[in-house]
Structure 1
Amino acid sequence: MTIPASVALNAYARAAGMGGGAAPQAGAAKQAAGAGGFGDFLEKAINDGVDVGKTSERQMAASAASKDGSLVDVVTAVAEAETTLQTVVAVRDKVIAAYMDIMKMPI
């Protein structure tokens, strides 16, 4: 299945917005830990993913309830939810791979 470019761009824009945009500088890790940190970033990303899924479900329910609903809106919402899920799975896989690499390090 091919994902429309507009859906991919929207997902990318949301992901870029969560990251803060600028690359971290030296010493920024301590500031980031005090000002939010990775856990807060991850929690926000998960909550945003859940919100996208709920929006998709609302679009589908609204379209099924009325004949005036736009099928394009439903397909776009479903594709956006799918892209978000794929992003969450990719991040999860990277976190697991990083954890496994850390566990392989000698003490």
Structure 2
Amino acid sequence: MTINAFGAGAYAATQNLVGLGAKKAPGGTAGAGAAGGAGEFGGLLKGALDGVGQTGRKAEMQMASAAAGKADIVDVVTAVAESEAALETLVAVRDRVIAAYEEIMRMPI
């Protein structure tokens, strides 16, 4: 896989995740819940998603600069690696949240 194809795939994946995080809940606001801390958690989650998206955009800009001959390949590889690490971290957190939800759903009432 080329650096451009990898970067484009990672960027598209982060944009999809950011889009999912920005959708509003049926109650009106994204991340709003019955507890006061729910909005704070939603804001924290949205900030993390925005950070991953920003990292992907930075990698994409570095790749475009390298294609134009204005950036060093080391900078491009570094930006893509940062984007990959951010995306992998986000996926790991998502997996842990899903596992916690599934465990809660298995608890007897």
CA RMSD between the two structures:
1.6
Task: Map 1:3-42 to 2 at 5 A.
Answer: 33=37, 37-42=40-45
Gaps in structure 2 of 5+ consecutive residues: 1-34
Q: Count residues with an aligned counterpart.
A: 75
Task: Map 1:55-94 to 2 at 5 A.
Answer: 55-66=58-69, 68-94=70-96
Per-residue deviation, residues 45-74 of structure 1 (Å, max 9, x unmatched): 0000000000000000011012x4211100
RCO greater where, 1 or 2, for CA within 8 Å and sep 6 or more? 1
Q: In the alignment, which of 52, 60, 68 is matched to residue 55 of structure 2? A: 52
Q: Percent identity?
A: 52
Gaps in structure 1 of 5+ consecutive residues: 1-29
Residue of structure 2 in register with 1:95 after alignment: 97
Looking at structure 2, the residues matched to 77 and 41 of structure 1 have their Cα atoms a distance apart, in angstroms, of 23
- Large movers: runs of 4+ above 6 Å: none
TM-score with structure 1 setting the length: 0.65
Deviation at 1:101, TM superposition (A): 0.5
Looking at structure 1, the residues matched to 90 and 43 of structure 2 have their Cα atoms a distance apart, in angstroms, of 15
Per-residue deviation, residues 12-33 of structure 1 (Å, max 9, x unmatched): xxxxxxxxxxxxxxxxxx7x72
